[in-house]
Amino acid sequence: MDLMASMKIAASGLKAQSGRMRVIAENLANANSTATKPGGEPYRRRIPTFTQEIDRELGVKTVSAGRILVDQTDFGKRYEPGHPAADDKGYVLVPNVNSLVEGMDMREAQRSYQANLNVIGATRQMLARTLEILRA
């Protein structure tokens, strides 16, 4: 595999992980969002997916952000009788976002992003070293 192909693959990984981090940040930002009226649904957690693509120009497989799925797990409930979205028993539906899970997903996405950056850095060093050898 040539060096440009490895950079293309790593760049696609950077873009995909960046999109994943954006979705995770959206989940975290809405972790405490509730409905505005009784019976309404609060924010539903989003789940990023990835798809595999073939770069025909370089003949390599790359990754890209796929569809964003909606998590269908049950909402939580919090007793808050004065809230405008409280039901007749005083409970408010809260998003199905677990901040701990989102934090772990964010950390994994950051590490994957960093790994792809390292691949690009190493590839650039190899290209620079190759040019130095050719000049000598």
> What single letter denotes the amino acid at residue 135?
R
CA 20, 24, 29, 33 dihedral sign is: positive
> 101 with 108: CB under 8 angstroms?
no
Contact 55, 6 (CB under 8 A): no
Q: Would residue 135 be called left, alpha or beta, if left means φ above 0 and alpha means ψ between -120 and 50 degrees?
A: alpha
pLDDT tens, position by position, 16-75: 999 999 999 999 999 999 988 888 899 999 999 999 988 888 788 899 999 999 999 999
Residue 1 in this model has a pLDDT that exceeds 70 = no
For residue range 86-100, what is the model confidence (pLDDT) as tens digits?
Answer: 999 999 999 999 999
Taking the C-alpha atoms of residue 128 and residue 107, their distance in angstroms, rounded to an integer, is: 31
What is the distance between the alpha carbons of residues 31 and 128, in angstroms, rounded to a whole number? 46
d(CA 74, CA 56): 43
Q: Which residues neighbour 114 within 8 Å (Cβ) at sequence distance 6 or greater?
A: none
The token pair at 78 is 């919090």
